[in-house]
Amino acid sequence: MENLMSRALDLAQSNGAQYADIRVVESRTESIQVKNGVVESLNFAESRGFGIRVLVKGAWGFSSSNNLSAEEIDRVTKHSVEIARSSGLVGGERVDLGPPVVSRGRYETPVQVDPFTVSLEDRLGILLAADSEMARAEGVRVRQSNLVIIKEKKWFANTESAFTEQTIIETGGGVVATAVGDGEVQSRSYPNSFGRQQVTGGWEVVLQWDLPGNSERIANEAVALLTAEPCPADTITTVILGGDQVALQVHESCGHPIELDRVFGSEAAYAGTSFLTTEKLGSFRYGSEVVNITADSVRPLGLGTFGWDDEGVPAQATPIVREGEFVGYLMSRETASKLGRVSNGCMRASSWNRIPLIRMTNVSLEPGEWELQDLIADTDRGIYMMTNRSWSIDDRRYNFQFGTEMGYEINKGKLGRMLRNCTYTGITPEFWNNCDAICNQNHWTMWGTPNCGKGQPSQIAHTGHGAAPARFRNVRAGIYRQ
C-alpha cells in the first residue's frame, strides 16, 4: 500500500504539485433493518478506493477512483493536477497550509467485542425480539428496528512525509415505534432519534442499550402521545431539554457556526455561513457562565474520535466556549493559517471519493452540577422536552426551531401531563445565555449524530456530542398550531 501511495505522491510532485496527499479507504458496513417483523434489509456493503488532493501554485485539485491499480493511480494523479491548474485559472487567494504535518503511526478504535465477530443470527435475534416487544403495545402501526456496524480502514500519506494507518469501528442501533390515530401520527425512538444511537465502540454498547428491554415502553409512549395534550400554543416558558435534544442543539447552534470554513464563506452557497465571525473570538458572550463547550477527537465512544484527521493532524481537544465566552473554532490547516494559528485537526472526508472538509469531531456541552430530579423540582412551571423530531436553523446558525417527540409539563416542581407536538424556537446566543442549569456527569451521555450533511458534492459525517439535560429560561414554545 505504501508503495502505491508513494507512487502517486512522487508523480504529483513531478507534474508540478507543490503539495499532495493521498487517502486509501476500505470500508465494510453490515446493516439490518426490521419493519413490522419483516427483515426489510440485511446488507453487507464494501467500498474501496482512493482520492488524491494536490496543490498547484496555491490552487486545489482532487480526483478519486474505485480502481486501485497502478495505472489508475497514475491517471487519477495526473487528472488531479489538471484540475488544480484549472482552478488556478480563476485567480483568487492562494492556499497557505502553514507548518508541515509529519505524523506517522497506527490507531485502532478500542473495543471490548469486535461487532463483526457477533453472528448474524445473534444480531438479527435482538431486532426480532425488540420488534416482538413493540408489538405488545396495542395501536402501534409501524415497528422499526435496526443495527449497523462499520469498520473503516484508512491510510493517509502526504508529500511532507506523513504516513498514518487507522481502523475506526462504529456500532449503532435503535428502535422506533409509530402510532396512528384520527389524523395524528406519533413516533417514539430509543436510544436516540433518527433511527439509532451510534458510537465508536464494539458490540458491548448494543448489550448496554438493551433494545428489547426498552421497546414496549417506547411503543406505549407512542400510543399515549396520540391522545396527549398538545404543547401549549405560542408561549414563553422555561424549558428543560433531555440530553439527546441538548446534543442536537449543540450540534446545530454551536457545532456548525464554529466551523472556520463557514466563517470564511466557503460554504456560503450551500450549508451557509456563521454569525461567529472572527472578531468575536475571545470577546463574545455566547452563553451564560454555566456553559462550557469543548471540541475533541479523543473521548471514548465519540463518533468524532480518531487518531489523526484527514490532513494527518493528531487528535486533540479544543476549548470552544469557556464560562460562556466564545474562545475557539474547528479548523483545517488552510483556515488556521489565515488566523495565524495551527490546525486543531478537524478535517474529515466521508469516504475516499470526497475531499476533507472541516467537520465536527465531538462537540460537547460539559456537565454541570445538577441531578435531573433536583432540576425539575427547582422549576416552578415549564416543559420538559426530549428526543428530536425536527430541526431547522438559518444559514448563519442564528434563528432555530426544533421539535421533539415527547414532552411533559412541569408544574410546581413536578412532571405533569404528557405533551405532544412540542416545538421551541430562539436566537442562538440569546438561548444559550438563558441556560441556567446543566445536569451532572451521572446524566451525561456521548450521543452520536451519524447524519450530518455538508459540502458539495454532499458528504454525510458522523459526529459526537456529549450532553446532559439542561434548563433554559424564557423560551418561546408551541410554534406549531394544531
Q: Which of residues 54-83 bind other proteins (CB under 8 A)?
A: 59-67, 76, 79-80, 82-83
* Residues 198, 275: Cα–Cα separation, whole Å: 30
Nearest approach, Cβ of residue 59 and other proteins (Å): 7
Rg of the chain over all Cα atoms, to the nearest angstrom: 23
Instruction: Please name the residues in contact with 34: beta carbons below 8 A apart, sequence gap of 6 or more.
Output: 40, 124, 127, 128, 130, 131, 143, 144, 145, 146
| CA angle centred on 245, ends 228 and 461, rounded to 5° | 130
Nearest approach, Cβ of residue 140 and other proteins (Å): 11
User: 120-135 vs 211-226: helix axis angle to the nearest 10?
Assistant: 30
Instruction: Please name the residues in contact with 71: beta carbons below 8 A apart, sequence gap of 6 or more.
Output: none
- Near other proteins by CB under 8 A, which window of 153-161, 177-185, 277-285, 373-381? 177-185
Nearest approach, Cβ of residue 48 and other proteins (Å): 6
- Please give the grid coordinates belonging to residue 363: 462537540
Residue 340 — left, alpha, or beta (φ > 0 → left; ψ -120 to 50 → alpha)? left
Which residue, 248 or 313, is less far from other proteins as judged by CB? 248
Which residue, 33 or 440, is less far from other proteins as judged by CB? 33
Nearest approach, Cβ of residue 67 and other proteins (Å): 7
Q: Which of residues 215-254 bind other proteins (CB under 8 A)?
A: none
State the DSSP code for 79.
Answer: H
Q: Which residues pair with 166 in a beta bridge?
A: 107, 154
Which residue, 402 or 447, is less far from other proteins as judged by CB? 402
Binding track over 351-370 against other proteins, x by CB under 8 A: --xxx---------------
Which residue, 39 or 207, is less far from other proteins as judged by CB? 39
Judge contact between 274 and 281, C-beta under 8 A: no
Judge contact between 438 and 242, C-beta under 8 A: no
Which residue, 425 or 433, is less far from other proteins as judged by CB? 425
Other Cβ atoms within 10 Å of 346 Cβ, number: 31
* The one among 14, 235, 278, 458 contacting other proteins by CB under 8 A: 458
* The one among 166, 178, 189, 237 contacting other proteins by CB under 8 A: 178
* The one among 136, 394, 411, 442 contacting other proteins by CB under 8 A: 394
Number of residues in contact with other proteins, rule: CB under 8 A?
A: 80
Nearest approach, Cβ of residue 431 and other proteins (Å): 12
* The one among 235, 278, 392, 441 contacting other proteins by CB under 8 A: 392
Is the backbone peptide bond immediately before 212 cis, with ω within 30 degrees of 0? no
* Phi and psi angles of residue 411, each rounded to the nearest 5 degrees, phi first: -135, 115
Q: Which of residues 258-287 bind other proteins (CB under 8 A)?
A: 264-270
Q: Which of residues 151-170 bind other proteins (CB under 8 A)?
A: none
* Residues 327, 305: Cα–Cα separation, whole Å: 21
Closest CA to 53 of 112, 103, 109, 9: 9
| Torsion sign (Cα): 115, 118, 124, 125 | negative
Binding track over 30-59 against other proteins, x by CB under 8 A: ---x-x--xxxxxxxxxxxx---------x
* The one among 350, 421, 445, 463 contacting other proteins by CB under 8 A: 421
Exposure class string for 291-317: b at 16+ Cβ within 10 A, else e: bbbbbbbbbebbbbbbbbbbbbbbbeb
395 binds other proteins (CB under 8 A): yes
Instruction: Please name the residues in contact with 247: beta carbons below 8 A apart, sequence gap of 6 or more.
Output: 365, 445, 447, 449, 465, 466, 467
Which residue, 82 or 378, is less far from other proteins as judged by CB? 82
Alpha helix locations (H) across 311-442?
A: 333-338, 372-377, 428-433
- Near other proteins by CB under 8 A, which window of 86-94, 238-246, 311-319, 325-333? 86-94
Q: Which of residues 292-311 bind other proteins (CB under 8 A)?
A: none
Q: Which of residues 461-480 bind other proteins (CB under 8 A)?
A: 479-480
* The one among 22, 313, 331, 393 contacting other proteins by CB under 8 A: 393
Nearest approach, Cβ of residue 82 and other proteins (Å): 6
Nearest approach, Cβ of residue 343 and other proteins (Å): 17
Which residue, 213 or 265, is less far from other proteins as judged by CB? 265
Nearest approach, Cβ of residue 354 and other proteins (Å): 8
Site of grid cell 425536527: 390
Q: Which of residues 319-348 bind other proteins (CB under 8 A)?
A: none
Nearest approach, Cβ of residue 414 and other proteins (Å): 28
State the DSSP code for 457.
Answer: T
Nearest approach, Cβ of residue 398 and other proteins (Å): 6
